Structure 1
């Protein structure tokens, strides 16, 4: 039997899965970690502990519990949150914590300066994306200006996945899908690094070598084998961002397929027929050469449900808190008895790209219950999701099918509210393991154990969430949009 190993580093948890060539799972493991918020608007991970430490722990656990001979593992693939920004020295050692993706808004001034200097239209034309809190280029410029002593020691700028691959193989690489988030340093037409838009950010020699996600980056070194328990010489793919691996895990492969990932954030990927250029959403080459993807993401989703549980349901055991809260919310009608929540607790990413946006709960009176508030929270996330799907529709990019994945798919209330509010049916596949399962498939693909079409047999559809129209949602959605517009100036002043 031939096996592949997939490991994914998420915002709050690392997951790994060992799979045979038929897609059957032989072992799984998970390990939790925290997102650090050293200052408002910042978000960080500790790369040694949260990325590499988790990878080592999860790989060792899977090997121990499966009893599989490491030599039978034919390939390894990893994914991680992204795009992140991590400076490392010549030995590959981190020089600071990893700066996370769009939930970290520390480089707002650099985003504004580069956008004004280069021109937004030029950036979109050349890089495929407007500069936002998701962009790595401005964060590198922030590093240069605010941590010059670290910048001076920097040999390479890595992201989370490339850090793992470097630890496993010694190779400094990055996949094109991730690299497209390094605007304004990546040219989508040439699919290569560029410094002709801004040559004062970082030398291109400090950026990783570009590969496609189905390419082998290198082999596991003797040192990495000693730490992880994996066999030396095992091929390792270039990897990718977790959301892309998650999309592939449920069969998002053909044009028109869309993934809705219910995780710490809502993340959406559409396999597009061609490149779409619009400042409200993101673009990247897909995992394979010659293919395209359009993306969008909220800033806080599952993170918000965890915050609510911890702050407003301390009376509930953690293992049963979410089902209890969902049951309470089910007793509240659509529209949450007149409550509206803006879910912008870490600013917001697409489509408004407002790092100053704030969370808000509006419409409270003395009759409201915890269930009403939790329902308003779920609906607020779903209204933010509808704002995204409407943006795709305006661009002529409505999905032909939508596949849901992630831990949030266990929340039936959230799933149904999202379908009802967006008006889109959702398919839930048999396995909702997520990105690590997609990694295992991509590893198998890279070494020829499977073809792309085999993902349908690995993870067939199991359930369809059918959208049910409710006028209350249309009314509340219109008010939701107005509430943001009428309070955004107040939110900015509060932030100042």
Structure 2
């Protein structure tokens, strides 16, 4: 048996999986975030992360087969910054990933000092709120007592693995987001130009996700119920684990995650860098990713459901009602076009100031037209992100789609129509399932990364629809034109 646990932004999930990929038991815990100041997003490692992990582990190890665990894999949100003392006690709440935007001044200062070209050469990315490095610099500037007292600056799953094993490690995939402290070409820490706030000796040992970090200590066994001596792999962040869980492990394969926002990972066997996308190592040695993301997907569909009055207590029924309403319209929503940029937009625009637009409204339009326009707009947003890979010279050979919005035919159908790509929809149990597979691989129970495809269950395949492709492709051109035309006005209103 293999135990996988994933700690997400609002929920933690765990699965107990056998060697054939069958989920024997699962558990979950919900939690929240803290926003103590504008732009600050935090969680307490002990009362949120560790409490969830111990609760889920105790529940799953109480299963009749829970004592047969041969390996543990963990993933968590990231890249986060967790400052701890030598005994792994957090010195303050963890600073979360890109949703925490506190380090803007540090990003500007570090970029000016090192140079934007050198940052991109070293990290394969520009510095953004998703970069962990500037948040360590923020601690030096704003909380110097914490910075001086810290023995370790690590990330979420690093701390959890250390709590289980006593070993402080980080995987290459997550270290790749500690820009500008990780050299993506050499795979090593490089603090050149950052010596006044960063020291490689205070950063975790870098390893591959499937490497065994250590074994469960007696103290951790007492808290979690996991037998002492059980191997624990280094693990990774939630998105790479999701990719593995969907069976995306080979050259040219793309994970398309249709969640509250959209996230996309393309796996390759060589490093590619492009300013429109994010570059990092993947979870296996010799593999890399290009990644993209949108800011809204499921959140926009929930918003329009609330606005149009089709919301009911059960989310599944709400979205079913919304789909039924949109079906009363026609492809192209009778001339309506939506930009679903309710929280700005990421790939390909990287524009946090962009906001939602509904263009073309006339007295003849109905609620059904508005519903369909918004769903197709989400599809255009996702299509634009996926097409950025093609523009970067990174062809897509296979798409595995996961997430709740894959059940919305107008969203996923628009994506296939615009991109021309066939999408294989997987019934994935989520990142924790990927963690369990990585643990099985790391302990030798399975032999090759590609073996995960035998674990993955396919629900359906969605291909381009010839009847709608011409309309939706023309609408996508208009979607791009609309954004470019209205962006200057939007930026002026935001100021």
**With structure 1 as the length reference, what TM-score do the two structures score?**
0.91
- CA separation of 1:204/1:373 partners in 2, compared to 1, >3 Å: closer, same or farther? farther
| Equivalences for residues 61-80 of structure 1 within 5 A | 61-64=59-62, 66-70=63-67, 72-80=68-76
Q: CA deviation at 1:78?
A: 0.9
Q: CA deviation at 1:38?
A: 4.8
| Equivalences for residues 145-184 of structure 1 within 5 A | 145-184=141-180
| Counterpart position of 1:117 | 113
Deviates more, 1:333-342 or 1:268-277: 333-342
| Counterpart position of 1:206 | 202
RMSD of the alignment, in Å? Answer: 2.4
- Of the three residues 174, 185, 188, the one matched with 2:184 is 188
- Of the three residues 44, 47, 64, the one matched with 1:49 is 47
| Counterpart position of 2:58 | 60
| Counterpart position of 2:252 | 256
| Counterpart position of 1:317 | 313
| Counterpart position of 1:28 | 26
CA–CA distance in structure 1, aligned partners of residues 470 and 460 of structure 2: 25
Q: CA deviation at 1:213?
A: 0.6
CA–CA distance in structure 2, aligned partners of residues 324 and 50 of structure 1: 35
- CA separation of 1:443/1:369 partners in 2, compared to 1, >3 Å: closer, same or farther? farther
| Counterpart position of 1:5 | 3
Flag structure 2 segments of 5+ consecutive residues without an equivalent: none
- CA separation of 1:402/1:385 partners in 2, compared to 1, >3 Å: closer, same or farther? same
- Of the three residues 200, 203, 223, the one matched with 2:219 is 223
Deviates more, 1:184-193 or 1:368-377: 368-377
Matched, 1:276 2:272: yes
Residues 305 and 311, structure 2, Cα contact 8 Å, conserved in 1: no
- CA separation of 1:407/1:10 partners in 2, compared to 1, >3 Å: closer, same or farther? farther
Matched, 1:301 2:297: yes
- CA separation of 1:60/1:342 partners in 2, compared to 1, >3 Å: closer, same or farther? farther
- CA separation of 1:201/1:485 partners in 2, compared to 1, >3 Å: closer, same or farther? farther
Deviates more, 1:304-313 or 1:439-448: 304-313
Residues 7 and 79, structure 1, Cα contact 8 Å, conserved in 2: yes
Q: CA deviation at 1:393?
A: 0.8
Deviates more, 1:341-350 or 1:364-373: 364-373
Matched, 1:458 2:450: no
- Of the three residues 425, 428, 431, the one matched with 1:432 is 428
Residues 335 and 473, structure 1, Cα contact 8 Å, conserved in 2: yes
Q: Give the secondary structure class of the aligned counterpart of 1:300.
A: coil
| Counterpart position of 1:405 | 402
Deviates more, 1:460-469 or 1:299-308: 299-308
Q: Give the secondary structure class of the aligned counterpart of 2:349.
A: coil
Deviates more, 1:486-495 or 1:101-110: 486-495
Q: Deviations over 1:285-308 (max 9, x none)?
A: 221222222111223333444455
Residues 407 and 432, structure 1, Cα contact 8 Å, conserved in 2: no
Q: CA deviation at 1:41?
A: 4.6
- Of the three residues 387, 390, 393, the one matched with 1:390 is 387
CA–CA distance in structure 1, aligned partners of residues 489 and 36 of structure 2: 24
- CA separation of 1:257/1:313 partners in 2, compared to 1, >3 Å: closer, same or farther? same
Q: Give the secondary structure class of the aligned counterpart of 1:478.
A: helix
Flag structure 1 segments of 5+ consecutive residues without an equivalent: none
Matched, 1:128 2:138: no
Matched, 1:358 2:355: yes
Alignment size in residue pairs: 491
Deviates more, 1:262-271 or 1:212-221: 262-271
| Counterpart position of 1:480 | 479
Q: Deviations over 1:257-294 (max 9, x none)?
A: 11111223211111123211111111112212222221
Residues 188 and 206, structure 2, Cα contact 8 Å, conserved in 1: yes
Q: CA deviation at 1:368?
A: 4.8
Residues 416 and 422, structure 2, Cα contact 8 Å, conserved in 1: yes
Residues 36 and 44, structure 1, Cα contact 8 Å, conserved in 2: yes
Q: Give the secondary structure class of the aligned counterpart of 1:379.
A: helix
Q: Give the secondary structure class of the aligned counterpart of 2:393.
A: coil
Q: CA deviation at 1:212?
A: 0.2
Residues 339 and 479, structure 2, Cα contact 8 Å, conserved in 1: yes
Residues 90 and 155, structure 1, Cα contact 8 Å, conserved in 2: yes
Residues 353 and 490, structure 2, Cα contact 8 Å, conserved in 1: yes
| Counterpart position of 1:468 | 465
CA–CA distance in structure 2, aligned partners of residues 362 and 96 of structure 1: 46
Q: Give the secondary structure class of the aligned counterpart of 2:186.
A: coil
- CA separation of 1:39/1:486 partners in 2, compared to 1, >3 Å: closer, same or farther? farther
Segments ≥4 residues shifted beyond 6 Å: none
CA–CA distance in structure 2, aligned partners of residues 137 and 16 of structure 1: 30
CA–CA distance in structure 2, aligned partners of residues 213 and 403 of structure 1: 21
| Counterpart position of 1:449 | 445
Matched, 1:375 2:382: no
Residues 111 and 131, structure 1, Cα contact 8 Å, conserved in 2: yes
